[in-house]
Amino acid sequence: MVLSRSWQVVGHTVILLLCLAVLMPMAIVVATSFKPPNEVFRLQPIPADPTLRNYQEVFADRAFLIFLWNSAGTTVLRVGGQIFFAVLTAYAFARWRFPGHNLIFAAVLGAMMIPHQLTMIPIYILVAELNWFDTWQALIVPNLAMPFAVFLLRQHFLSFPRELFDAAEMDGAGPWTALWRVVLPNLKPALAAITIVLFIDCWNEYFWPLLVTETEASQTIQIGIRRYLEEDFADFGALMAGVTLASLPALAVFFMLQRRVMETFVGSGIKG
Amino acid sequence: MTVAHAPGSLVSPARRSRRGWWARTASDPRFAPWLYLAPMLLLLGVFTYWPFVHTFYLSLTEWNLNPDQPIEFAGIDNYDRLVGNTLFQAASYNTAIYIAASIPLKVLLPIPFAVFIWSLGRAGNLYRTIVFLPTLISFVVVSVVFLWLLNPLGGLIPSFFQQVFGWRIGNVLKDTSTAIWVILLLSTWKVIGFNILIYLAGLVSINRTYVEAMRMDGARDWTVFRRLIWPLLTPTTFFVLIYTVIFTIQQVFTPIDILTEGGPDSTTTNLFYMVYQYTFITFDVGLGAAGTVVLFLFLLAITLLKVRVLDRRVNYQQ
């Protein structure tokens, strides 16, 4: 559809303003991260005397590296677990009909309708009773079930040609071997996109780590950034460098598979 | 046919018997699905369904999160206290404002952007990617950055208005009339690109030949939008509406916690943040659980509305 000339001018102008509103704060943050302390509060956007000092400071801070390590470790383990359990579940639903099939499928999808804030108090108490407070387990285990991933993966499994299952079984492969050797290698793009969405969701999470982390034993980068604020942190150049570094992993994985990730995001109901 | 093994498996019984008990069970269609399902069912039972039900029980008790302290049964006392509590009243009122303001900002505003990007075809991809970027950045980062930008002492936004227009901007986050709007604008900034993407997914299903046909009949842009695009986009609009209402409640938790902590004077807290305040700041578990139940009833009402709307849509298509 081609709009008339006047609507095109209006459209481009307004959307460029929106893009500006989106990109400006990001540009200011990145520019500030290269400014020396005396320039941080100046309006001039480009640093007059660009420096890497802020980044050196951030990397010299042991706590910051520990926050990054906690975020990276818990995110990888949690997303790995989420994908693993979602694959098993989706495979069971796609491969077999069994008594209670529809009821159990409804129970799995129904869990999507129960948002985290309705279950947090008992889970918090459970975590405390298990003595998991301020550990990696507390961040990982309660979040391993991802019904939306089950839903999306099942769609992909159902579209998988049944002949290939049968061929695999003809060759003596059980369902387990068929899953890992035949099905998953053919679904790599879909798996990658779901993994990236889960990664971004987990990396950016704030609420749950806020409840169950206490020290550097488990505090993630998002909690760490907040902690700098609480400590009356005045070195804004370094803070902006830290914020930039904390945002890079999510942006990087997104740009690896941009188009597919956007489609998966739409299907996920996860909004940053 | 002499082979009497389970359907769906083409492995011969002779071959099967050579495998171990575990391998046989794991490929027997009577048991195999349950082995694959077990971990997920266990996880959902322990971390979704049990806590969900347990919250109702906790809402009838009194406890302060101290393990040495017994949990006492209190009946509906918590609900009584909740209704009379000023924080609950403020949170309910603010939740209504968050939702009412989110409809024009997050539900309607993305539509013209999405339609414009859609009209550009492939050329709109760059716009689409740029407006999507805020979805990828954590709300902690967004909040911290804007806290710094809005700082009345030398923050870039107040300095900009001071130097360019000569306006004096005080601390908008400490002002009871502006704080909630700062949070609303930030949450719009964060989610608008995502909602544009959902609308684009809805627009893709509109057959472009209809548009061409209307054009042939001399329809102008606005008429095409009013008579064709808007009606066909209605299901997507309802979808975005329901999700925005449900989602706004959780989404604004992070900016509330980092920018205002529910203040000033409880003007930015919402039902979710209130539950957090009751449970983890004043350690009143019973009151927090009662607040959670009220929040659940609210979300349930919206979900039922969604079911009704979707039903109507199905009827409409028939």
Q: What is the pTM of this model?
A: 0.88
Shared domain for A99 and A20, answered yes or no, is no
Q: How far apart are CA A230 and CA B140, in angstroms?
A: 13
Domain ranges of chain B: 78-317
Residue A130's pLDDT band (cuts 50, 70, 90): very high
Instruction: Inspect the interface and report whether the beta carbons of A226 and B243 lie closer than 8 Å.
Output: no
Interface test with A, best of B137, B269, B270 (most A CBs within 10 A): B137
| Confidence check: pLDDT of B311 > 70 | no
Shared domain for A28 and A66, answered yes or no, is no
Q: Pick the residue from chain A with its C-alpha nearest to B214.
A: A1
Shared domain for A94 and A8, answered yes or no, is no
Q: Is A232 helix (H, G, I), strand (E, B) or coil?
A: coil
Shared domain for A98 and A4, answered yes or no, is no
Q: Is A153 helix (H, G, I), strand (E, B) or coil?
A: helix
The structure tokens 């940053």 sit at: A272
Per-residue model confidence (pLDDT) at position B260:
92
pLDDT tens figures, B74-129: 888 999 999 999 999 999 999 999 999 999 999 999 999 999 999 888 888 899 99
CB B138 within 8 A of CB A204: yes
Residue B216's pLDDT band (cuts 50, 70, 90): confident
Shared domain for A44 and A113, answered yes or no, is no
Shared domain for A27 and A148, answered yes or no, is no
Per-residue model confidence (pLDDT) at position B6:
47
- Structure-model confidence comparison of residues A237 and B153, the more confident one: A237
Interface test with A, best of B61, B141, B162, B206 (most A CBs within 10 A): B141
Q: Pick the residue from chain A with its C-alpha nearest to B9.
A: A169
Question: Within 10 A of B130 (CB to CB), how many other CB atoms are there?
Answer: 17
CB B98 within 8 A of CB B85: no
List the domain range (segments joined by +) for residue A36: 1-51
Shared domain for A174 and A242, answered yes or no, is yes
Best CATH choice for the domain B78-317 from the list 3.30.1780.10, 3.40.190.10, 3.40.640.10, 1.10.3720.10: 1.10.3720.10
Residue A233's pLDDT band (cuts 50, 70, 90): low
Report the pLDDT averaged over residues B247-268: 91
What's A237's domain CATH number? Answer: 1.10.3720.10
Number of domains in chain A: 2
Which residue in B276, B263, B70, B210 sits closest to A206, CA to CA? B276
Q: How far apart are CA B305 and CA B316, in angstroms?
A: 16
Instruction: Inspect the interface and report whether the beta carbons of B190 and A272 lie closer than 8 Å.
Output: yes
Percent of chain A with pLDDT over 70: 96
H helix runs in B166-284, sequence order: 179-204, 208-216, 221-224, 230-251, 253-255, 271-276
Structure tokens at B195: 């909602």
Shared domain for A111 and A15, answered yes or no, is no
Question: Within 10 A of B123 (CB to CB), how many other CB atoms are there?
Answer: 9
Shared domain for A9 and A106, answered yes or no, is no
Which residue in A215, A183, A199, A193 sits closest to A260, CA to CA? A193
- Could you tell me which residues come within 8 angstroms of residue A164 by beta carbon, excluding any fewer than 6 positions away? A182, A183, A186
Shared domain for A35 and A88, answered yes or no, is no
Cβ of B247 under 8 Å from any chain A Cβ? yes
Q: How far apart are CA B303 and CA A266, in angstroms?
A: 19
Q: Residues of B numbered 111-140 whose beta carbons fall under 8 angstroms of chain A's beta carbons: which are they?
A: 112-113, 116-119, 127-140
Instruction: Inspect the interface and report whether the beta carbons of A29 and B285 lie closer than 8 Å.
Output: no
Per-residue model confidence (pLDDT) at position B286:
92
Report the pLDDT averaged over residues A226-233: 78
Give chain B positions within 8 Å (CB) of A23: 130, 133
Give chain B positions within 8 Å (CB) of A25: 142, 145-146, 149
H helix runs in chain A, sequence order: 5-33, 53-60, 62-95, 101-110, 120-129, 136-140, 147-158, 162-170, 175-177, 184-186, 188-203, 207-212, 221-230, 236-256, 258-268
Q: How far apart are CA B292 and CA B250, in angstroms?
A: 12
Shared domain for A102 and A190, answered yes or no, is yes
Provide the residue type at A255 as one letter.
F
CA distance A3 to chain B (A): 6
Interface test with A, best of B5, B40, B200 (most A CBs within 10 A): B40
Shared domain for A42 and A150, answered yes or no, is no
Per-residue model confidence (pLDDT) at position A105:
93
Q: Is A3 helix (H, G, I), strand (E, B) or coil?
A: coil
Return the CA Rg of chain B: 27
Per-residue model confidence (pLDDT) at position B312:
60
Residues A17-41: b if buried by 16+ CB within 10 A, e if exposed: ebbeebeebbebbebbbbbeeebbb
